[in-house]
Amino acid sequence: MTFAEKLRKLRDAAGLSEAKLAKDSGVSFAAIHAYGLGLRSPSLAAAVKIARALGTTCEAFADCVDVDRRGPKKPRKGK
Q: Are 6 and 64 in contact (CB under 8 A)?
A: yes
In whole angstroms, how far apart are CA 66 and each of 1, 36, 59, 70, 75?
A: 8, 12, 15, 12, 23
What are 43-71's pLDDT values in tens digits? Answer: 999 999 999 999 999 899 988 887 655 55
What would the mean pLDDT of 8-33 be, rounded to a whole number? 97
Give the span between the Cα atoms of 24 and 18, in whole angstroms: 10
pLDDT over 80 (residue 15): yes
Q: What is the DSSP letter of 73?
A: P
Q: What is the DSSP letter of 29?
A: H
pLDDT over 80 (residue 78): no
Pick the CATH number of 3-60 from 3.40.50.300, 3.30.1330.40, 1.10.260.40, 2.60.40.420: 1.10.260.40
What would the mean pLDDT of 18-29 be, rounded to a whole number? 98
Q: Are 8 and 36 in contact (CB under 8 A)?
A: yes
Does the pTM exceed 0.75?
yes
For residue 6, the Cα-to-chain-centroid distance in whole angstroms is: 9
Return the percentage of the chain with pLDDT > 90, whole number. 73
